[in-house]
Structure 1
């Protein structure tokens, strides 16, 4: 089964990392993407099979997936690819995985759960840094409480962003911050700020629209969820742009301009930068009696973890056929998934 799957979007920064990790494990996935020349170049370098097609070509997608047990999509922004690819997977009986962090994509996959289950298909978005580590630490901490009502996640030490991640961030400019209240996803019009302590130092954080607003609800059943990033660097700049020029940031021509500027950025952090930049994720769960439980997860840089976790999740689904329908990482594999990933450790505070 090591050759009976596909990585779509293999020519991007994250896609290449995942393809290299798969090759290092002795796996032989088909590498795919829209641009035949770019796909062939990386496939020839890694000595792997390849295919080229657009997700917008329904017949081409279904033909490419017809003999595949699983596709791992790394083609973001997933708002432009997930609907087409999940429909094709349901039509062909192919398990779907991706590395999205987009709330709308998780909710889209959840809405297709019944059809996927009938087709014998697993829909498992978010098998990278978005949202494997945060989903697992949320589920772990929730289990410490008898009746959890509120969940807050703070993600510290994000490191540099790839072009794909930066473009996804641009699409959210000017739209407000997504949170969950009373089980429903809503938007806050004003920025949310909180201080969190990491390694004995207090840092200012800002609320963000992160995938866990969707997935943590499905994983834990907690009705009230917020996610925070450090209020620094590009995130601070984007927050200011959204606050002061939100109406302008929502315009398509402005977003297209910003995306073109992003194309001038480095593809992503170097191997040396990734090796030096670890990440910590704090989960704070409030119980129905007001007791607060905190746990912290230490893990590698987000891109290094994504390559590890994405391939690990693909291997697990291929080996077991997975749980059918829409899943989150912790629902599919349990919090124990972290034990199968490099350099991940949990500490209860």
Structure 2
């Protein structure tokens, strides 16, 4: 996509000085885009702009409680990329500013509760402004949402779509840890019988099949974004999301994690969340580059038609945070294209062609394929 084919103007990166925000800004600059850096600390923004050099068009400090400054920042370009989590605490102000400024919005969230707010509470204002918002335009939940669409579209109407995640050697940033606290406090929803409802705290002890060498793995409930996005682009009665226990807990603890999740959810609705949040603040900002690049992940999607037909697919790749920077940059360029006409709250597969976008991730090392043996 050439620059002449895109709307003019830089991409505004809010939360630019954070771990993921810096990666997003660097990826955009590597693609020849101009960027406007925004966030709460003028000093840190100036230091980042000096380090990044050419291509940084402006620096716009904007606190979350300063609506005028946020709108000024959002109005500097046709697209705003929000990298400042946890989004349950920050998202409303930034998305409202983008909407008021007439800018498309995307973010790096993994928080299902925030995504639900975008769909339920911001969609009307977005449509009235003629702009789109795509929450979860990072590793969470671009590959999974696209894969679900590709395996399920030919079998509609569908009885169920199941998506299962596995990550290897994933070191989280402070922002991801804080988002995880928001995700695990029991506010998640499930999609059953063709409708969304509160998921509650039901324990799950199941196994999911992954391609070799992973094989059969113990999984836990996962408040994934696909539960919200997949029913908006597929005709389906139930969407199930699972995450391998070893993805989020040491191997000695993983076997008890599925049963312990309800208890943990109740504890996180009390004082424990604040105590853990404070402890997270004393940890390193994120994994070193070598560790970040060493991460490997696998996502499996299985679609079941009403008539019993089944199809499955798998997508794999490296470097969760690097991929998030890649998908945010890819999404920002597509949103800025004159051919993009979407409005309102959208998921990745609702905003873009699923196969085309997934194929566009191949240079980063993302690979996908049909694997119907996983559905047998």
Interval containing the TM-score (normalised by the shorter chain): over 0.9
Task: Note if contact 1:208-1:227 (Cα within 8 Å) is conserved in structure 2.
Answer: yes
Q: Deviations over 1:125-182 (max 9, x none)?
A: 1111111101100111111313212111111125221111111111234427532112
Structure 2 equivalent of residue 189 of structure 1 = 201
How far the C-alpha of 1:239 sits from its partner, in A, is 5.9
The range that moved more, 282-291 or 213-222, is 213-222
Structure 1 equivalent of residue 77 of structure 2 = 68
Task: Note if contact 2:174-2:286 (Cα within 8 Å) is conserved in structure 1.
Answer: yes
Task: Note if contact 2:36-2:60 (Cα within 8 Å) is conserved in structure 1.
Answer: yes
The CA distance in 2 between the partners of 1:241 and 1:299, in whole Å, is: 29
Task: Note if contact 1:144-1:293 (Cα within 8 Å) is conserved in structure 2.
Answer: no
Uncovered stretches (5+) of structure 2, i.e. residues with no partner: 1-6, 372-376
Structure 2 equivalent of residue 232 of structure 1 = 246
How far the C-alpha of 1:218 sits from its partner, in A, is 1.4
Three-state SS of the structure 2 residue aligned to 1:72 is strand
Three-state SS of the structure 2 residue aligned to 1:152 is strand
How far the C-alpha of 1:246 sits from its partner, in A, is 4.2
How far the C-alpha of 1:222 sits from its partner, in A, is 2.0
The range that moved more, 48-57 or 132-141, is 48-57
Three-state SS of the structure 2 residue aligned to 1:153 is strand
Task: Note if contact 2:191-2:238 (Cα within 8 Å) is conserved in structure 1.
Answer: yes
The CA distance in 2 between the partners of 1:153 and 1:233, in whole Å, is: 15
Structure 2 equivalent of residue 168 of structure 1 = 179
Three-state SS of the structure 2 residue aligned to 1:81 is helix
What TM-score, normalized to structure 1? 0.92
How far the C-alpha of 1:244 sits from its partner, in A, is 3.7
How far the C-alpha of 1:271 sits from its partner, in A, is 2.3
Structure 1 equivalent of residue 367 of structure 2 = 345
Count of equivalent residues: 348
The CA distance in 2 between the partners of 1:245 and 1:317, in whole Å, is: 39
Q: Does 1:133 align with 2:153?
A: no
Superposition pairs for residues 144-155 of structure 1, below 5 Å? 144-155=154-165
Task: Note if contact 2:110-2:225 (Cα within 8 Å) is conserved in structure 1.
Answer: yes
Structure 2 equivalent of residue 40 of structure 1 = 46
Task: Note if contact 1:177-1:191 (Cα within 8 Å) is conserved in structure 2.
Answer: no
The CA distance in 1 between the partners of 2:316 and 2:248, in whole Å, is: 23
The range that moved more, 272-281 or 95-104, is 272-281
What TM-score, normalized to structure 2? 0.86
Structure 1 equivalent of residue 222 of structure 2 = 208
Task: Note if contact 1:136-1:329 (Cα within 8 Å) is conserved in structure 2.
Answer: yes
How far the C-alpha of 1:322 sits from its partner, in A, is 4.3
The CA distance in 2 between the partners of 1:120 and 1:175, in whole Å, is: 34
Structure 2 equivalent of residue 9 of structure 1 = 15
Three-state SS of the structure 1 residue aligned to 2:160 is strand
Shift in alpha-carbon separation, 1:329–1:300, aligned structure 2, 3 A: same
The ranges of structure 1 where at least 4 consecutive aligned residues each deviate by more than 4 angstroms after the TM superposition are 235-242
Q: Deviations over 1:209-250 (max 9, x none)?
A: 111111112122323112111112644487676444543321
Q: Deviations over 1:43-80 (max 9, x none)?
A: 21102231111122112212222332111000111111
The CA distance in 2 between the partners of 1:219 and 1:280, in whole Å, is: 22
Q: Does 1:315 align with 2:333?
A: yes
Structure 2 equivalent of residue 303 of structure 1 = 321
Q: Deviations over 1:4-27 (max 9, x none)?
A: 220001111111111111122222
Task: Note if contact 1:242-1:249 (Cα within 8 Å) is conserved in structure 2.
Answer: no
Uncovered stretches (5+) of structure 1, i.e. residues with no partner: none
Structure 1 equivalent of residue 293 of structure 2 = 275
Task: Note if contact 1:177-1:189 (Cα within 8 Å) is conserved in structure 2.
Answer: no
Among candidates 31, 37, 60, match of residue 37 of structure 2 = 31
Three-state SS of the structure 1 residue aligned to 2:304 is strand
Structure 2 equivalent of residue 107 of structure 1 = 116
Q: Does 1:89 align with 2:98?
A: yes
How far the C-alpha of 1:3 sits from its partner, in A, is 4.6
Shift in alpha-carbon separation, 1:327–1:24, aligned structure 2, 3 A: same
Task: Note if contact 1:72-1:96 (Cα within 8 Å) is conserved in structure 2.
Answer: yes
